[in-house]
Amino acid sequence: MEGIKLLKTRRSIRKYIDKDIPREIIEDIIDCARLAPTANNLQPWIFIVIKDKKLKSKISDITDYGKFITQANVCIAVFCKSTKYYLEDGSAATQNILLAAWDYGIGSCWIAGDKKFYCEEIRKMLNVPSDYKLVSLISLGYPEENELKRVQNIKKKSLKEVLYWDKYCIE
């Protein structure tokens, strides 16, 4: 898909059809994630791709707003070593995953990791060393048709509401 259109049409997709995402596509999505901008080029991230059904359902059970993870074909857990800018770095990588997935026609949703009550439990469950922090969980799957229609109606702030030139001003 053309770049600007890709950015403008991505939406959080939480309902998926039962279809496998090929391994090469998952690898390419993670390849896009590892190329994200990162403070001082530290690249503090690791990406855990969770395909195992039991593990996926355990993760979805632990979360409060990620129950749909269990229906997703894949869940990706983004961890970053606890550097000064770990959250920014991990967030940039997360966004790359959402956009790369969408370019493949795969729906995704960013599920909060950092600051959530379950972040340590998930880290331990996935055997990740204690100097890493869970930045995000991402569900991935081919979108359900109705879900694609639903997200088209989600309201976004207009450009006029958010754009200021030179200085902020109240009208």
Ligand X SMILES: Cc1cc2nc3c(=O)[nH]c(=O)nc-3n(C[C@H](O)[C@H](O)[C@H](O)COP(=O)(O)O)c2cc1C
Buried b (16+ CB within 10 A) or exposed e, 38-54: beeeebbbbbbbbeeee
Choose the binding region for ligand X from 9-17, 38-46, 53-61, 162-170 (rule: CB under 6 A).
Answer: 9-17
Judged by CB under 6 A, the residue of 111, 119, 122, 140 near ligand X is 111
Exposed, middle or buried by CB within 10 Å (0-12, 13-18, 19+), for 67? middle
| 27 or 122: CB nearest ligand X | 122
Please tell me the distance from the alpha carbon of residue 58 to that of residue 14, in angstroms, as a whole number.
17
Single out the segment in contact with ligand X by CB under 6 A; choices: 11-19, 27-35, 78-86, 119-127: 11-19
Binding mask 17-56 for ligand X (x = CB under 6 A): ----------------------------------------
Among candidate residues 73, 37, 79, the one with its CA nearest the CA of residue 56: 73
Say if residues 122 and 132 touch (Cβ distance below 8 Å): no
User: Minimum CB separation from ligand X for residue 23, in Å?
Assistant: 26
Residues near ligand X (CB under 6 A): 11-12, 14, 65-66, 109-112, 151, 154
